[in-house]
Amino acid sequence: MSSAKDILGKLEEKAVKKRRTIILPESDDIRVIDAVHIILRRRIANVILLQKQNELENRFKARKDLTIIDTGFGVQYANDILRIRRSKDPSYSVAAAESESVEPLVFSMMLLKKGFADGVIAGSVCTTSDVIRQAISIVGIEKGYKTVSSFFLFSFPRDHKLSGRVFAFADAGVIPVPTAEQLSDIAIHTAKNFKKLTGLKPRVAFLSFSTKGSARHDSLKKISDALELTKKRNRSLIVDGELQFDAAFVPSVAARKNKGGAIKGDANVFIFPDLNSANIAYKITERIGGAYATGPILQGLSRPVMDLSRGCSTDDIVNMAKVITNF
Ligand SMILES: CC(C)(COP(=O)(O)OP(=O)(O)OC[C@H]1O[C@@H](n2cnc3c(N)ncnc32)[C@H](O)[C@@H]1OP(=O)(O)O)[C@@H](O)C(=O)NCCC(=O)NCCS
């Protein structure tokens, strides 16, 4: 089995071949600047940076795979922004649209929407909510989709006991309390994108504090509804629930708690019941479990936008560049 480090390595190889163009609007953040030097040196992507006052000119040598644009040029999109905002709020003013258009995050979304780049990576400075709101309102939701959600991809160092394994956790970044329908969307989208990025067959577990009725509580109905809906909507998907984490992950526990289940302790895509549980679990997996976490990888948008944690490292940004160019 290929190692998780290899997964990021493979994504990098593919990225180099594709040579897509990405925008990093938080261009004056030192982690972003360091990451851009690495992305360009390793030819992972062409990069567009946005600057306010020529502050980037002396940080980068002129090169043809790097474009630096002054944010003032964003004002050309003020009318588009006015139209988008007025569709929700008819009293939105021209002045507000002009001042928003030169905001790097908004400008980057407009450049993406207009086709000047293949993706935006933001969130080292802006909050996740800001990134997602601007992405939904400006870039828009993918045709045929209703739900924007996210997942984290986990891989492990060479000396880790899980080295060679790759997992996805969803939704650890977007929807605080998903409905059964949204939970089903999250499962189906994550399975599809897990396969797209890793090449592995997804095996999906809806997680809970209960395994197949071992406990009773009103909150469990949403999970069983999501499971039934998912089975109906995607008959070929390997999916099971509701499962405690050990029943989903440990074959010997699965043999006792979930005999005959579709997941036999071999799940690789874990769907959490809400954002609290998923976000807590991802940070524990990273900080205590020693996993490499890449995400939140946003899904359901019409063009790729990737969010970062504000606590992200330079490596996290480089890894996100490998993901977005393969998304
Ligand atoms: C994503 C988030 C910003 C949306 O906030 P919200 O208050 O529900 O969204 P708004 O009311 O501003 O919605 C704006 C529009 O986006 C839509 N929308 C919001 N979330 C959506 C989603 N997940 N999928 C699709 N559409 C969505 C709304 O339906 C609304 O559409 P409308 O204008 O046509 O009615 C919010 O859920 C959030 O902050 N999530 C947590 C993010 C976070 O802090 N994560 C931390 C961990 S990394």
251-269 pLDDT, tens digit each:
999 999 999 999 999 999 9
Q: How confident is the model at residue 97 (pLDDT cuts 50, 70, 90)?
A: very high
Q: Output the residue whose Cα is nearest ligand 1's atom 33.
A: 88
141, 149, 174, best to mutate for ligand 1 pocket (most atoms within 8 Å of CB): 174
DSSP 139: I
The values of phi and psi at residue 259, to 5°, are -60, 130
Give the sign of the dihedral formed by CA 280, CA 286, CA 290, CA 294. Answer: positive
Which strands form 21-24's sheet, in the order they lie side by side? 66-70, 46-51, 21-24, 119-122, 305-307
Q: How confident is the model at residue 4 (pLDDT cuts 50, 70, 90)?
A: very low
Tokens read off for 306: 């990737």
Distance 133 CA to ligand 1 centre (A): 6
Q: What is the mean pLDDT of residues 311-317?
A: 93
Predicted TM-score of the model (pTM): 0.93
Of residues 218 and 2, more confidently modeled: 218
Give one DSSP letter per residue of 209-270, joined into a string: SSSTTSS--THHHHHHHHHHHHHHH-TTSEEEEEE-HHHHH-HHHHHHHSTT-S-SS---EE
Amino acid at site 306: M
Distance 132 CA to ligand 1 centre (A): 7
Q: What is the mean pLDDT of residues 49-69?
A: 89
Q: What is the mean pLDDT of residues 174-181?
A: 97
C-alpha angle 296/286/205, rounded to 5°?
Answer: 65
The pLDDT of residue 287 is above 90: yes
Q: Which among 82, 133, 128, 73 has a CA at the least distance from the CA of 103? A: 73
Q: Is 178 touching ligand 1 by the criterion CB < 6 Å? A: no
Q: Output the residue whose Cα is nearest ligand 1's atom 37.
A: 175
Distance 96 CA to ligand 1 centre (A): 21
The pLDDT of residue 2 is above 60: no
Give the whole-angstrom CA distance, residue 55 versus residue 70. Answer: 10
Residue whose entry in the numeric block shows the structure tokens 């080295």: 163
pLDDT, averaged across the chain: 94
The pLDDT of residue 92 is above 90: yes
Distance 148 CA to ligand 1 centre (A): 8
Are the CB atoms for 167 and 17 separated by under 8 Å?
A: no
> Domains in the chain, start-ordered, CATH in brackets?
4-140+302-324 (3.40.50.10950), 149-287 (3.40.50.10750)
Q: Which atom of ligand 1 is nearest to the CA of 141?
A: 25
Distance 83 CA to ligand 1 centre (A): 20
